[in-house]
Chains A and B, each alone.
Chain A
Amino acid sequence: MEKISITIDGYSLEVDPGKSILNAALEADLYIPHLCHHPDLPDVGECRLCVVEIEGGGEIRTSCKTQVEDGMVIHTKTEKLNAMRRLSMELMLANHVDDCTTCPKYLKCELQSLIQYLEVSTSRLRRTLNSVPVNTSNPLFVRDLNRCVSCGRCVRACKELRGVDVLDYQMTEDDRVMVDIKNHHSMEEEHCRFCGACVEVCPTGALQDKEGVLKPNLNWDLELVPCKAECPAHTDVPRYIRAIKEGRYQDAIAIIREKAPFPHSLGYVCMAFCESVCRRKEINQSLSIRELKKFAADKDEGLWRERANFKPKTGKRVAVIGSGPAGLTAAYYLTKLGHEVTVFERLPVAGGMLTTGIPKYRLPREAVQEEISEIIRAGVTILTNTPIESLTDLKAKGFDKILLAVGAGKGNRLPIEGADYNNVYENIDFLKGVSLGSSELVGDRVVVLGGGNVAFDCARSAIRLGAKEVVIACLETREAMTASEDEILEGLKEGVKLLNGRTFLRIEGLNDKGTGVRCQEVSSFTFDESGKLQLILKPDSEHVIKADTIIFAAGQKPEIPQDWDVPVKRGNLIATENEIKVIGRNDLFAAGDAVYGTHSVIQAIAAGRKAASVIGQELNGDGDIEDKLTNDVIPSQYLGREEGFLEANRNECMDDCYNDSSACGEAGRCLQCDLRTQITRPKLWIHYKIK
């Protein structure tokens, strides 16, 4: 299209026809004050701040609503125009709370920036503010109409951008016009989708996110999308949920795989931090994100492989010690960076906690094996049954860097009498034994000491091995147990007995065999200033829980061979710089539970990614491990009205997994918080070259 020539304030511009004067000016870095204009919304010309004069026209026009014409000579800052702008601004401010400093939008406010630019105060006008209570009656937003200037951006965002049409100009009882929910209803009654577009486009403090819903984050895109921010690997949750909803299952699995090489395992056992911050839970229940991930992983046809980015071979060699999720993730991405990676595993199977810690009733071994095979297919060598005695020897075999991803593989045994009887196990050893198929681990009566998820893993495994009576005894009350509620309920359903508020005095026994745990009841406990446990015991409450098998489930710590000469800190954790470089060593790195203590699979994966990236940089690469495994599908900004959207309850996925229709239904509950990140953030006057 041929360009046309216009002149704005003496600057000659060549612009595309059909553009508004305002857009032509702003694109040329020439500021014209504006407030109701938003780059993503249709212009309406309501704030009257963008007024301009066109030579020969005589009339004053709003530049957002006037199209450029060839030869136009436009003035934007005459005395008259400035006066008109100031008056419009004064009129808005007369009807606006006049205390900026108490506003959450203070210093982030477009209106405030305009006040500064136009240098206005309202002293010559009468206050017209019609005070109304701040409305917090909906689950996610604060609506303070005392700070609203009726620019109508939210109305247009809701109606034109989203097609939900919840907001409009409404008459008050005193015949004043203000922006409100249609028919003065609640947002729920008007089927708000809680997408946040209205909040995003609001130039003042009138519409805000409720405090605590979003965690401050320097990365705005993460701040607005809590599920993605909370995931240690920053998995793009809304993007894959949307792909599932739209039936693009191969896209969904590819998006998950962009951040984690264990999607199927995560679908079974991820701690789903995403769900705990899901904004949907403020409305009714969080989205069932983990189940949807499992659903997508089940559908994986491997199409993403063609897009996986493998960099040219570098000839550098990396040794990874430990084949858990952290080690294998690091190995996978280091291989993709072109390095030759060998993983050393002391056990006969690879997978770490995925194969020898988490019981298989929770995480089917086929799912893990499939994912490990995928990593081997990518070029990683895994040597099982290969303990590393000496790091020096390993280094001497020609490895440029060594990553310690040994996990926290040593169970804690409480220092009580009888703790070393033959039939007393540590959680990790017990679970490893179960996983590797050792027989005769349990007798008829099993007592597990501890109240976390691992205690339940032990107890429920014992039931599956044929134990007739399984007891979990722990210090905490039922409410204070660290095990997840799901685990507790499942355990109880399977017949696990809970004994809360117990302290363990000793293990009674005969010959080499424990026969029971002598306990006392605890009415309360605290930790003193030095972190030492202080118990208040119930008098005369000593008793013995009879047992044929006793399992300590009192936490784990890393097992670091002395000969490695690796610096350790409290809890036998490897001492590192930035949770990655082993202190004092430039060829040695550490990642996973061995660095920060027992955590989650997804945390280990995130740590493995970080390790790969850092080691990649140390090996003179860019360390860029990001994958783009699917085409970008630009999501529709349009949501439309959907009755019943807010009422839809979480589908708990009773029959093992979703089918296509239930997955689509559950994915449809997503509020799509990420759509808000697509909305352009308007520039303020300060950012323009010519102001």
Chain B
Amino acid sequence: MIGKERDRWKEKSVDQIKDFISNVYEGEVKNPCPVDRLKALSDTLRRKSCGECVICREGILQLSVLTESITLGSGRDGDIDVISEISEDMSIGSACDYGREVGRIAKKIIDDEREQFERHIKRKRCDALVCKKFITYYVAPETCNGCNQCLETCEPRSIRGGEGLIHIINPDSCTRCGDCVMACKPGAILKTSASVPNLPKEPVPVGSAQLDSIQGSLMSQKRRRRSE
């Protein structure tokens, strides 16, 4: 087995390093969730570290593992401080500009978006609706046309319903793959990181769901929280 080539940033110029990193950054800049953005960035960038200096090799890896854990709902108190400390130490203590540049980017993300990180860790919310662990897919009863397309694309078979019926997604088995969203022509499948509105408990014929009566009789307001 021949190993993959390592990048040797020590032999490269500051500009080459910055160009490389900003390219990676550009690829993620549109990612609306800062936690997921840092996770994606650190996962890509750790794979490119030459691996010789501790703070860069282990620091970016730790950022990657930490942010992934936060996006999966396992964030802990103190994680933000650790991310902040690692980023800062990388930015001042890395052996070369690769680590320093990665540190600066990470530091900027954590400083600018501290609140979003906190919401992920403490409230288990992803306001940008990116972190799958924190979002729930549901079928808006008033928009569903009962075409059954979503049910047919759903691989884990998490959707109940039939032709002409308002479909229902089972949040427990739903993998949040998003395939049903693509399949749904009327755009009835929505996601939320907070509470799910009142929905029918069983598939009912399209048109029979009246928001008022549903609200009153079928479900009470309930905030859904997923922390598992």
A residues with a Cβ closer than 8 A to B are: 44-48, 51, 59-60, 62, 83-84, 87-88, 91-92, 94-95, 124-126, 128, 149-150, 152, 169-172, 175-178, 180, 183-184
Contact = CB atoms under 8 A, between A and B. Distances in A.
Interface of B: 1-6, 46-47, 49-55, 57-59, 61-62, 65-66, 69, 78, 82, 85-86, 89, 92-93, 95
A177 B57 contact: yes
Given A46-B53, A51-B93, A126-B65, A91 B58 contact: yes
A184 B55 contact: no
A259 to B, nearest CB: 46
A150 B54 contact: yes
21 contacts: A45-B53, A48-B54, A48-B93, A48-B95, A59-B92, A88-B54, A91-B59, A91-B62, A92-B54, A94-B58, A124-B82, A128-B61, A150-B51, A150-B52, A152-B52, A169-B50, A169-B52, A175-B4, A175-B47, A177-B52, A184-B2
Contacts of A60: 92-93
Contact of A150 (B47, B55, B57, B65): B57
A662 B3 CA distance: 40
A173 to B, nearest CB: 8
Contacts of A169: 6, 50-52
B93 A177 contact: no
A58 B5 CA distance: 35
Contact of B2 (A59, A83, A180, A183): A183
Contacts of A94: 58, 62
Contact of B62 (A46, A128, A152): A128
The 6 closest A-B pairs by CB, nearest first: A177-B51, A175-B47, A91-B58, A171-B4, A126-B65, A170-B3
B55 A88 contact: yes
A184 B61 contact: no
B36 to A, nearest CB: 17
Contacts of B5: 171
A44 B54 contact: no
Nearest to A47: B54
Contacts of B54: 46-48, 88, 91-92, 149-150
Contacts of A149: 54
B218 to A, nearest CB: 42
A95 B61 contact: yes
Contacts, number: 94
Nearest to B6: A171
Contacts of A126: 62, 65-66, 69
A114 to B, nearest CB: 12
A44 B52 contact: yes
B65 A128 contact: yes
Contact of A171 (B3, B55, B66): B3
Contacts of A150: 51-52, 54, 57
Contacts of A45: 53, 95
Contact of B85 (A47, A48, A87, A178): A87
B3 to A, nearest CB: 5
Contacts of B51: 150, 169, 171, 176-178
Given A60-B92, A88-B89, A171-B3, 14 more contacts: A45-B95, A46-B53, A48-B53, A48-B95, A87-B55, A87-B89, A91-B54, A128-B62, A169-B52, A170-B3, A171-B6, A172-B3, A177-B51, A183-B1
B65 to A, nearest CB: 4
Nearest to B76: A124
Contacts of A84: 89, 93
Contacts of B58: 88, 91-92, 94-95, 128
A133 to B, nearest CB: 15
Nearest to A51: B93
Nearest to B49: A177
B52 to A, nearest CB: 5
Contact of B55 (A91, A125, A176): A91
A284 B61 CA distance: 42
A176 B61 contact: yes
A177 B6 contact: yes
Residue with the greatest number of chain A CB neighbours at <10 A, chosen from B1, B82, B93? B93
A159 to B, nearest CB: 13
Nearest to A95: B58
Given A88-B54, A124-B78, A150-B54, A175 B46 contact: yes
Contacts of A128: 58, 61-62, 65
Given A92-B58, A150-B54, A183 B3 contact: yes
A137 to B, nearest CB: 14
A152 B6 CA distance: 15
B50 A48 contact: no
Nearest to B64: A128
Given A48-B55, A183-B2, A177 B50 contact: yes
Residue with the greatest number of chain A CB neighbours at <10 A, chosen from B52, B66, B69? B52
A176 B3 CA distance: 11
Nearest to B78: A124
B81 to A, nearest CB: 8
Nearest to A59: B92
Residue with the greatest number of chain A CB neighbours at <10 A, chosen from B2, B50, B51, B78? B51
A178 B65 CA distance: 17
A193 to B, nearest CB: 22
Residue with the greatest number of chain B CB neighbours at <10 A, chosen from A47, A149, A152, A170? A170
Contacts of B4: 171, 175
Residue with the greatest number of chain A CB neighbours at <10 A, chosen from B57, B59, B85? B57
A145 to B, nearest CB: 13
A176 B62 CA distance: 12
Contact of B52 (A46, A51, A183): A46
Nearest to A125: B62
A183 B1 CA distance: 7
A47 B95 CA distance: 10
Nearest to B74: A126
Contacts of B65: 126, 128
A87 B46 CA distance: 18
Contacts of A46: 52-54, 95
Given A51-B93, A150-B57, A125 B82 contact: yes
A125 B86 CA distance: 10
A238 B228 CA distance: 64
Contacts of B52: 44, 46, 150, 152, 169, 177
Contacts of A91: 54-55, 58-59, 62, 86
A83 B82 CA distance: 12
A45 B52 CA distance: 9
A665 to B, nearest CB: 34
A170 B46 CA distance: 14
B47 A87 contact: no
B202 to A, nearest CB: 43
Contacts of A152: 52
Residue with the greatest number of chain B CB neighbours at <10 A, chosen from A47, A84, A175, A184? A175
Contacts of B66: 125-126
Nearest to A130: B61
Nearest to A151: B54
A84 B1 CA distance: 37
A128 B93 CA distance: 21
A513 B57 CA distance: 88
A214 to B, nearest CB: 31
A590 B4 CA distance: 67
A201 B42 CA distance: 32
A47 B47 CA distance: 19
Nearest to B69: A126
Nearest to A169: B51
Contact of B3 (A47, A92, A184): A184
Contacts of B86: 87, 91
B171 to A, nearest CB: 28
A128 B5 CA distance: 22
A503 to B, nearest CB: 61
Contacts of A51: 93
A124 to B, nearest CB: 6
A62 B52 CA distance: 14
